[in-house]
Structure 1
Amino acid sequence: MPVNTAPREASPDDLARASPSGPGTAFRWPARLWIVLLVSSGVILLDGLDVSMIVVAIPQIQREFGLSAATAQWLAGAYILAFGSFLLLGGRCADLFGRRRMLVAAMAVFILVSVFGALTSNPVLLIASRFIKGVAAAFTAPAAMSLLTTTFPEGPQRNKAFGIFNVFEASGYSSGLLIGGLLATLNWRAIFILPVPIALLILWAALRYVPADPRSDRPIRLDLGGTLTLVSGMLTLVFALVFAAEIGWLSPWTVGGLAVSALLLAAFAAIESRVEAPLIRLGLFRNRRLVAANASAALLYGGAMGFQFLLGLYLQNLLGWQPWQMALVLLPAGLMVVAIGPKLGGLMDRFGVARILVVGLAAFVPCYLLALRLGPEPDLWTLLLPVSLLWGLGFALSISALMVAGTSGVADEEQGVAAGLLNSSLQVGGACGLAVVTAVIMPATELAMLSSGVVVSLVFAFLTLLVQLPFRRG
């Protein structure tokens, strides 16, 4: 089918209505609809690449600039801090100012900062570029996800779209570990350059093929009080969680940071209950499935990020493996997502979102139970490979189902907020889980450290299931 490249001719709703979406109906998407899906998926692919590639390059950057370990970790921590703190604001801005508009503007910033990071020879500016890039990603991710949810109607079409979206997300993260390991052997600056052509392609496709945001005669009012308290509260919370692993959970800085964050977020809730145009409508939390999806997302990523950290310590510090070898161990997990993702829409249509979600979350339980058997010698075929496959199966089934559950029953004008909320839950949950695992393993020996940390991930896995039990028949 030929692609009509005339701008501002069709809205996403018009495109979605071009195909039937009822249960059991076959649908064919027009070419422009596929491009909207690929643009949204490309954004999440880019985020996954950028996050995972920097992890394997940190030791090289640390050596070149003579950084301490505490300073070097901010190459990853600054991005997480900014991304987790600005996601909700990014989602609301997408709803207010236009999803395409915010995606294009933030992607342009992402490109410029990537080039700057590749050229700078100042470690402080390099870390600052990572923070700004995290802010840009906090605006692109919810814009892309809400563009998808407002383009594809609830039901089979959205289920299929999220299955493909999840393939790109997993591919970006898993391939980023391997690509980052290979590029880091050449020059770490190549890791900053690689996302640029991908981002330029996404930017071009968004400008050319994604329908322009509809014009609205309603005045746009951004809740400044809510914005300041929310961003300050989230920055303080994520900052405290990231630092807790290093300075301790009972440190005055950690306790004080968490207390200040709680006060700021309480002030945010008070403001939102009174203002005429809130940043986040508190009534959104009456959607019990949305709340359960966000709780499970936080717990899932908390356990998964802690486990990945443990696996890295086990393979690289204890066994002496290289980063690219660790990436190969995780590759089956990524391939599992790629294999299942395109079929996930049909599976959710047939068995229901809640059932697929519970099966996906349950897969992490045997995964972590097997990991408890890891010893001083690597057992590739009977332990590491099954662990990787179960990890991939869990992500393949649960992440897309969480995205569907976390945005279902939400009005189009609040899809950006719902997307930002879900992504924020993932990021904050990941930071919290990593901090908890690090605190638990600090006093232990290397193998005992591994076991005690995996137990924490196992507890997180059981809690994700517990949250979903009331909805198991959905």
Structure 2
Amino acid sequence: MNVAHTQTGRTAPGAPRPGAALAALAAAQFTVMLATSIVNVALPQIRGGVGLSDGGTTWVVNAYGLAFGALLLAGGRAADLLGRRAVLIAGLALFAAASLSAGLATTSGVLIATRAVQGLAAAAIAPAALALAMEQFPSGSGRGRALGVWGAVSGAGGAGGVLLGGVLTQAWGWPWIFHSVALGALLVLAAVVVLVPRTAGRAAGRFDLFGTVTVSLALTCLVWGLTTARGAGWTDGRVLGALGAAALLFAAFTVIERRLPNALIPGRLFRTGRVAAGNLLMALLGSVWIALFYFLPLYQQQVLGSGPLATGAGQLPLAAANMLGASLAPRVSQRIGATATVTAALLTEAAGLLWLSRISADGSYLTDILGPSILVGLGLSIAFVQLTALAVDGVPREDAGLAGGLVNTTRQVGGAIGLAALATLAGSVTAHAPARESRLEALTAGYRTAFTASAATLAATALLALWLTRRSGSRTTDASAHPAADPQTV
């Protein structure tokens, strides 16, 4: 039982209030998401600052995403076994140190290495923070509001990173994008220490080191292969070798998990079918989500000619729509049901992406980006809230950190797969554009194709969600009304 609450569910005298704890935990999630996108606008300046090659520039982004995606399961299980609050605090301290080091880097090797350490720290922060947030709101409408806040800060972190990156790069230079993240992480660390109460006990069992190493290596090979495919192509020997190694390692991991009593991913996690459904749908949503924040800034800068600051500011309507959608998600779900809510949200986002597929080389922000960005933001946030609720619904308390790590892993891996596939598709369309088309027209044709494919993916995901959520018991996916396992009974 959480020591901040009495058995009647009221806050104990002198204990931090759940709302204040949620604010600190949501700030931790925002910081992780911010670091994912804050470098995107500043890549040209970073390249010149530390002497990066074309391939090295992409690894400023990839090193973070690779470590983050590969180690999330390990981070989630470590949080369950070592204590979520302790792991969160350690993760934030390491994140701040790595961010400061990245801002001070003078060589490409140091910068890429510190970005990888940032990703490692984020893999500890994200699942621990989500599990602690769910502990604060184990049931009822409070959980729906908590997940709404979680969805708002997750989406706003991605959009806010583009904005803040543009502002800081233009005002003080690229090192300040990392210095600001370091300062933010330290402030969040202080807030967690003061506002997040200590929880009672840790999960029983041992850390599955063999399984953890195997699945982490498998995820590393998978994400590395997919990100390398964007530049080298799908038939490159390194790409095929990495993907083949990932397949073998995943097969070995499956065998290992069936034989160990303290498996990293215990079978009980999937007994209801809701966790599996939530993670599959989250992977598909992630495949479009990450790519969106990759292609939109490129279109604004390379085709429309926007500077870093204008590109960042252009993300504000999307971020505002995202926060609005996340706040509305629990109420919409209560009114029309969880299955209808997630299906409608995915179709809304698909409509926005289909609208983006009409961008033109001689377009403008107002005519080509503003309207669809609002639709995308609304649909994305509502779908994220509902799928997160589905992926953690009914999970026993001792597995809450692992469930949080799993849903973050599927979103990251889905994002890596989607971005690799869509970037390759867009690049192929641009490369094979008719000779009569200008460079800007060729680039725009590639982006249009990527947005069209994204819309088709989400439309298919909506149909799959309609089937899976009904099949697994759609009533349990309502973020506002249904608890995970009562922590008092575990």
TM-score (norm 1): 0.91
1:132 alignment partner, SS class: helix
Tell me how far apart the structure 1 counterparts of residues 340 and 459 of structure 2 sit (CA, whole Å).
16
- Return closer, same or farther for 1:16/1:70 CA change in 2, 3 Å cut-off: farther
Superposed displacement of residue 220, structure 1 = 4.3
Residue 98 of structure 1 corresponds to 83
Superposed displacement of residue 289, structure 1 = 2.1
Match of 1:453 among 450, 453, 458: 450
Superposed displacement of residue 274, structure 1 = 0.8
TM-score (norm 2): 0.88
Verify the 8 A CA contact 1:303 1:456 in the aligned structure 2: no
Verify the 8 A CA contact 1:39 1:144 in the aligned structure 2: no
Verify the 8 A CA contact 2:324 2:378 in the aligned structure 1: no
2:349 matches 1:352:
no
Tell me how far apart the structure 2 counterparts of residues 199 and 329 of structure 1 sit (CA, whole Å).
25
2:428 alignment partner, SS class: coil
Match of 1:215 among 201, 221, 236: 201
The one-letter amino acid of 2:193's match is L
- Return closer, same or farther for 1:121/1:291 CA change in 2, 3 Å cut-off: same
RMSD, aligned α-carbons: 2.0
Superposed displacement of residue 442, structure 1 = 2.1
- Return closer, same or farther for 1:98/1:336 CA change in 2, 3 Å cut-off: same
Q: Deviations over 1:401-455 (max 9, x none)?
A: 1111110011111111111111011111111111101221223232331232222
Q: Deviations over 1:263-296 (max 9, x none)?
A: 1111111111111111110342333222221111
Verify the 8 A CA contact 1:13 1:150 in the aligned structure 2: no
Tell me how far apart the structure 2 counterparts of residues 414 and 463 of structure 1 sit (CA, whole Å).
31
The one-letter amino acid of 2:448's match is S
Long gaps (5+) in structure 1: 1-8, 20-29
- Return closer, same or farther for 1:391/1:347 CA change in 2, 3 Å cut-off: same
Verify the 8 A CA contact 1:295 1:464 in the aligned structure 2: no
Residue 204 of structure 1 corresponds to 190
2:151 matches 1:166:
yes
Superposed displacement of residue 379, structure 1 = 4.2
2:41 alignment partner, SS class: helix
- Return closer, same or farther for 1:320/1:286 CA change in 2, 3 Å cut-off: same
Residue 397 of structure 2 corresponds to 412
Tell me how far apart the structure 2 counterparts of residues 120 and 373 of structure 1 sit (CA, whole Å).
41
Match of 2:180 among 161, 184, 194: 194
Verify the 8 A CA contact 1:15 1:151 in the aligned structure 2: no
Verify the 8 A CA contact 2:208 2:263 in the aligned structure 1: yes
- Return closer, same or farther for 1:317/1:96 CA change in 2, 3 Å cut-off: same
Residue 321 of structure 2 corresponds to 336
Long gaps (5+) in structure 2: 431-441, 476-490
Residue 388 of structure 1 corresponds to 373
Verify the 8 A CA contact 2:360 2:368 in the aligned structure 1: no
Tell me how far apart the structure 1 counterparts of residues 120 and 336 of structure 2 sit (CA, whole Å).
38
Q: Deviations over 1:115-139 (max 9, x none)?
A: 2222232220111000001000000
1:17 alignment partner, SS class: coil
Match of 2:169 among 184, 187, 195: 184
2:407 matches 1:422:
yes
Verify the 8 A CA contact 2:22 2:133 in the aligned structure 1: yes
Structure 1 window deviating more from structure 2 (156-165 vs 31-40): it is 31-40
1:363 alignment partner, SS class: helix
Match of 1:270 among 252, 255, 264: 255
Match of 2:10 among 18, 33, 40: 18
Tell me how far apart the structure 2 counterparts of residues 312 and 206 of structure 1 sit (CA, whole Å).
33
After TM superposition, the structure 1 = structure 2 runs for residues 23-102 of structure 1, keeping only pairs within 5 Å, are 32-102=17-87
Superposed displacement of residue 456, structure 1 = 1.7
Q: Deviations over 1:153-178 (max 9, x none)?
A: 23311111011122222222222211
Superposed displacement of residue 16, structure 1 = 8.4
Tell me how far apart the structure 1 counterparts of residues 113 and 87 of structure 2 sit (CA, whole Å).
22
- Return closer, same or farther for 1:159/1:123 CA change in 2, 3 Å cut-off: same
Residue 481 of structure 2 corresponds to none
The one-letter amino acid of 1:159's match is G
Residue 25 of structure 1 corresponds to none
Match of 1:136 among 96, 117, 121: 121
2:292 matches 1:307:
yes
Verify the 8 A CA contact 1:160 1:346 in the aligned structure 2: no
2:262 alignment partner, SS class: coil
The one-letter amino acid of 2:83's match is G
Verify the 8 A CA contact 2:166 2:311 in the aligned structure 1: no
% of aligned pairs identical?
Answer: 33
Tell me how far apart the structure 2 counterparts of residues 14 and 239 of structure 1 sit (CA, whole Å).
47
Superposed displacement of residue 325, structure 1 = 2.2
- Return closer, same or farther for 1:316/1:153 CA change in 2, 3 Å cut-off: same
Residue 317 of structure 1 corresponds to 302
